[in-house]
Structure 1
Amino acid sequence: MNTDDVVLPPAYWNADATVATLRVTVTNTGGRAERISLGYTLPPGLTDAGTPGCEPSGGGNHRCVGWDAEPGARFSATIRVRVDGDAWRTMPLAGSVQVTAVAPGVTGAAYDDEGFAVLFPPGPPVPGISLRADEVLFDISGAPSTLTVRLGNTGKVDAAGRIEVLLPEGVTVAGTESGCAPVSADRTRCELGTLAAGRTATARLTLAASAEAQRRAPLSGAVIGRLDPRSGRDRQVQMSFRISAAAADAVPPGGAPAPTGSQGVLVAAGERDGDDTSVRGTAVALIAVSGLLVVLALTLATRSLRRRSDITVPERPITDR
């Protein structure tokens, strides 16, 4: 299963609520026909906007009508969600999608669970300030990665700059530049000093993620940018950023024995073990036969040489000259 993110347009800041879509793609990677069922969990501030065949089951959870899928079949589903106009106040937000597959006559089920991020554009719009946070990607090694944040002073007067980074569960700050310090377990504040009008400051934080957090990726974090001029009102804007991990795609989903693609690999592996034993036996037999052929050839060559040595060469008669 693969999930896209819920990406909100800039028009979100001018509406009481915004309807967005979450696209989910499911593939039957097994060798049997399967009955597939889908469910999803929405974070606070998001509600279902009328997805056909799906209904709430309590606690932000939803269940959808199942369908039959032949081996190799691929399906895409679009989940409609409504994002409240005040949902940005509790960012970062993320949800998850669950899929379960059952094959007739097979005990157990195969399942997958993947997260999705809710990505807000920079805002609410405030003149004189800009904010940008890049995506964070953890490679297959799971090593720490870097978050880059840029805070710009687009106003006409100098202002003191500050950012705060909010992280989801399982993601922590492993290292920062000078001027950054933790405010709480999930929040880090960086003082950027005075930003002259028209200038942009860049902050880089090294993030680490637990194995469980990487498995649940993609996730989302949030950044709050603030400018405090010597005179006039403070300016503040915030946005969310995506946290993805290669391990989320590289690690096969776990579960009870079922007709999944991973189980097919295990069956094939067992067959390969038997084939390897057969191949090794055949190789040994071929080596033995080759050795016998070599011995036989040497024996025949030796006998041939002996026969040649036993032949008497007739003497030439001596004639008087």
Structure 2
Amino acid sequence: MTVTNTGATPARIRLAYTLPAGLSDAGTGGCAPAGGGEHRCGEWASAPGARFSTLLRVRVDGDAWKRMPLSGSVRVTATAPGAPGVVSDDEGFAVLFPPGPPVPGIRLAADAVSFDISGGSSGLEVRLGNTGRVDAEGRVEVALPAGVTVPTPPSGCTTVSPARTRCALGTLAAGRTARLRLPVTATPEAQRQAPLAGAVLGQLDPRSGPTRQVQMSFRITSAAALATPVASPPAPTGSQGVLAAEAPAVSDGGGGGSVRRTAILLIVISTLLVVFALALATTSLRRRMTAPVAGPSAAPTE
């Protein structure tokens, strides 16, 4: 985890983070539990532009995979001398698990979900494979975090709850893989909290033999979590922008003076180069015009 003072003044920064059920702190220095999975760390001074990084040590319970999807969050707050109020920033993190537990005869895969800057996504693609020797009825259940939903389940799918969608895939022949694509939407708040985690449970009921089941988690990312510009006055708060500056940077009154100066300098340099090139060409031409003309050479003798 990295915190950067993007403001123009020194600041006092505090850090806190929340772990989901199934995870516990494994001894992060300077941090103490505050109940409900929340941990609070000490305060430190940060100069303008300074960057602070630390590693949060986390222990994962042996049965945490049964509770997926799991996501946590990290929050920072800052105050600056002479600046009213407190600015803050937060960001989520996803706890991901590979497909498991290992079960012969079934294969499950799910792609990450990514929201673009407009808030749209290409959806979630899930693949359930029957790697056994007999046909089996396939079923997939998708679990999503708060604020992320499947607005219009496709044919064969039903909404179990706002966070869960169940889909019947029909009969999967031995060696066949079924593909399922679900539309996914997210609230602006959920997108700002990204990355988050979702989960998929795949199940096969063969004509003979026990039911096979495997589950995994997948990442949910969003461009909105990285798109907010650096905080500056008069914005006292903001998500994904870290610190507010106490005063605007000194300018030359127009806001674009440095750009104009650079443009003028480039024009002057270009003009000088052209003049220099013309002078060289003129000098070379004069030398050729004033040089004596050489007479004809004698014919070679045999």
Both structures adopt the same fold (TM-score exceeding 0.5): yes
Amino acid at match of 1:34: A
1:266, 1:189 → 2: CA distance?
A: 53
Deviation at 1:144, TM superposition (A): 4.1
Q: Which amino acid aligns with 1:74?
A: R
Query: Which residue, 242, 248, 251 being the options, matches 1:267?
Result: 248
Could you say which residue in structure 1 is the equivalent of 2:281? none
Distance 2:149 2:59 in 1: 30
How far 1:37 moved relative to its partner?
1.5
**Aligned partner of 2:81 among 104, 108, 112:** 104
Q: Is the 8 A contact 2:193 2:225 kept in 1?
A: yes
2:9 to 29, 32, 51: 32
Aligned equivalents of 2:245, 2:75: Cα separation in 1: 21
Offset, 1:25: 1.2
Could you tell me how far 1:83 is from its partner in structure 2? Answer: 1.1
Q: Aligned to 1:232, which of 209, 232, 236?
A: 209
**What is the alpha-carbon distance in structure 2 between the residues aligned to residue 92 and residue 199 of structure 1?**
27
> Which ranges of structure 1 fall in alignment gaps of 5 or more residues?
1-23, 279-321
Give CA-to-partner distance per residue, 1:86-131, whole Å, 9 cap, x none. Answer: 1122211111100112223332222101111111111111111111
The equivalent position to 1:143 in structure 2, one of 114, 120, 124, is 120
Equivalent-residue separation in structure 2 for 1:169 and 1:76 (angstroms): 29
Change (3 A) 1:101 1:262: closer
Please say if residues 135 and 174 of structure 2, whose CA atoms lie closer than 8 Å, have aligned partners that are also in contact.
yes
Per the alignment, residue 163 of structure 1 pairs with 140
Output the CA distance in 2 between the equivalents of 1:94 and 1:160.
31
3-state SS of the aligned residue for 1:275? coil
Match runs of 1:167-246 below 5 Å: 167-246=144-223
- Distance in structure 2 (CA, Å) of the matches to 1:79 and 1:262: 22
2:48 to 59, 62, 71: 71
Aligned partners of 1:94 and 1:220 also within 8 Å = yes
SS in 2 for 1:175: coil
CA distance in 2 between counterparts of 1:266 and 1:147 reads 44
Amino acid at match of 1:83: V
SS of the residue corresponding to residue 43 of structure 1 reads coil
**Structure 2 Cα separation of the partners of residues 239 and 262 of structure 1:** 37
CA shift for structure 1 position 150 = 0.6
Structure 2: stretches of 5+ with no match in the other structure: 258-302
Q: Does the 8 Å contact 1:163/1:189 carry over to 2?
A: yes
User: Which letter maps to 1:191?
Assistant: A
- 2:83/2:246 contact within 8 Å kept: no
Tell me how far apart the structure 2 counterparts of residues 148 and 210 of structure 1 sit (CA, whole Å): 20
Matches within 5 A, 1:88-127: 88-127=65-104
TM (norm. structure 1) is: 0.73
Q: Which amino acid aligns with 1:169?
A: A
Q: Whose helix proportion is higher, 1 or 2?
A: 1
Q: CA deviation at 1:136?
A: 0.3
Please show how residues 47-86 of structure 1 align to structure 2 within 5 Å: 47-86=24-63
Q: Which has the larger radius of gyration?
A: 1
1:168 is displaced (CA, Å) by 1.1
Q: Percent identity?
A: 64
Letter of the 2:55 counterpart:
T
1:256 is matched with 236
| 1:302 corresponding residue in structure 2 | none
Contact 1:144 1:174 in 2 (8 A): no
TM-score, normalised to structure 2, is 0.77
* Matches of 2:237 and 2:132, distance apart in 1: 61
Task: Specify whether residues 253 and 59 from structure 1 end up closer, same or farther in structure 2 by C-alpha distance, changes over 3 A only.
Answer: farther
Matched-pair contact (CA < 8 Å) for 1:252–1:262: no
Aligned equivalents of 1:75, 1:91: Cα separation in 2: 31
Q: Secondary structure at the match of 1:248?
A: helix
